[in-house]
Copies of this chain bind each other. A is one copy, B any other.
Amino acid sequence: MFYDTTVVQFSKMLQNLSAILDKGATFAESKKIDVAVLLNSRLAPDQFHLIRQVQIACDTAKLGVARITGKTDSAPKHADDETTLADLQQRISDTVAYLASFTEADFSHAATQKITQPRWEGKYLSGYEFLIQHVIPNLYFHITTTYAILRHNGVDVGKKDYLGAMPYKV
């Protein structure tokens, strides 16, 4: 369950995010505007801009999987210094590559793994609680917000871009 729900589905969503960003680039080109305008857009003055939304989406996937597998030290470091679309695409593909380094066996203790963070002041969540109540809602939040920023600016993205292809069977 953990492997499919994280490595497989998170990778799919990050690839959808990558394709959504490319649609933003195509839009910018067609309107003869600098794509950086979109990358620095936000929905409210005190909300993170698109670049930060993508960074957090990537970190949510990266650190979520690192923490529930107890492999925090294996997570690649990122300086959060992306400024261009190419930088963001690199960040996404680095994250997807990192996720691909996990196997199902890495998740054997995931459900009961004790997860803590400095700001939780010594308190903890189980790996299962952390995944369901924290990681998954956060990942979708930041991908949807990225999508919403582009949508608000006129980029022609739709629900299918967000969900990606479904593995329909006949």
Contacts and interface: CB of A to CB of B under 8 A. Distances in A.
24 contacts: A1-B1, A4-B132, A9-B133, A43-B151, A43-B152, A44-B151, A44-B152, A44-B154, A47-B151, A123-B168, A123-B169, A124-B168, A124-B169, A125-B166, A125-B168, A126-B169, A133-B163, A134-B163, A134-B166, A136-B136, A137-B140, A141-B159, A145-B148, A152-B152
Interface of A: 1, 4-5, 9, 12-13, 43-44, 47, 120, 122-126, 128-129, 132-134, 136-138, 140-141, 144-145, 148, 151-152, 154, 159, 162-164, 166-170
A137 B140 CA distance: 7
Nearest to A148: B148
A11 to B, nearest CB: 12
A166 B1 contact: no
**SS class, residues of chain A in contact with chain B:** helix
A144 B140 contact: yes
Contacts of A144: 140-141, 144-145, 148
A134 to B, nearest CB: 7
Given A9-B132, A145-B148, A138 B163 contact: yes
A168 B121 CA distance: 10
